[in-house]
Amino acid sequence: MSTGIFITLEGGDGVGKTTQAELLSSWLEQRGFEVVRTREPGGTDLGASIRGLLLHGGHVTQRAEALLYAADRAQHIDQVVRPALERGAAVVQDRFIDSSLAYQGAGRALALDEVRGINEWATERLWPELTVLLDLDPTVAAKRRAEAGMTDDRLEREAIEFHERVREEFRALAAAEPGRFLVLDAAARVEDLHEAIIARVAPLVTEL
């Protein structure tokens, strides 16, 4: 039985997920929670190798890509996330299955139900209590990344149409599951986004 809380952050590249994850983690730590800050891909040693193959290696076919993200996830959930939840920790994670649905499903045009299927198998159907979607126009996000001097990885180099499909899928996933998702306009101020996230998290952690 899990007793901790599992929170994920989703959205395109350069929307501010990491900043919000760090702010949320500090807030939880100040309230006495053990916080596990982690990410996919790359939250384990095996995952770090898979991340390199996915983002900085050569050509990866679409199905191999979907399976590599799922393999990273299987290792990560088993080795890091479930043990943390079982000891009552708060897991604050950049990206999860919703990213595979948006990028491999909508972006690459693989069948969504099949991508969902391999990922639910990989994770033994673990889903977060809360998923924060930071929604932003991909053109604005690309500009932010360029201004921050970030070099684009293999996925980020995809055409703007790819990133628009990704954004639309994230929004569709959120609309289908309003109980799990909190959708925020990532163009808002960092402090205002943090406040909105806290307002949603606070009632969830009172019982922990």
Q: How far apart (Å, rounded) are the C-alpha atoms in residues 101 and 114?
A: 9
Task: Spell out, one character per residue from 51 to 90, where the chain touches ligand TMP: x when CB under 6 A holds, - when not.
Answer: ----x-------------x---------------------
Residue 10 binds ligand TMP (CB under 6 A): no
**Choice between 33 and 174, CB closer to ligand TMP:** 174
The rounded Cα 11 to chain-centroid distance in angstroms is 7
Instruction: Supply the minimum distance, in Å, between the C-beta of residue 192 and ligand TMP.
Output: 22
Q: How far apart (Å, rounded) are the C-alpha atoms in residues 142 and 157?
A: 10
Contact in structure between 4 and 90 (CB atoms under 8 Å):
yes
- Closest C-alpha to 182, from 168, 167, 200: 200
Angle 94-98-100 (CA atoms, 0-180°, nearest 5)? 95
Residue of closest CB approach to ligand TMP:
103
Task: Spell out, one character per residue from 149 to 178, where the chain touches ligand TMP: x when CB under 6 A holds, - when not.
Answer: ------xx----------------------
Which residue in 7, 16, 35, 39 binds ligand TMP (CB under 6 A)? Answer: 39
**Choice between 153 and 195, CB closer to ligand TMP:** 153
Handedness of CA 173, 177, 182, 184 (dihedral sign): positive
| Token representation of residue 141 | 């996000």
**Choice between 37 and 95, CB closer to ligand TMP:** 95
Chain residues in the site for ligand TMP (CB under 6 A): 13, 39-41, 55, 69, 94-95, 99-100, 103-104, 155-156
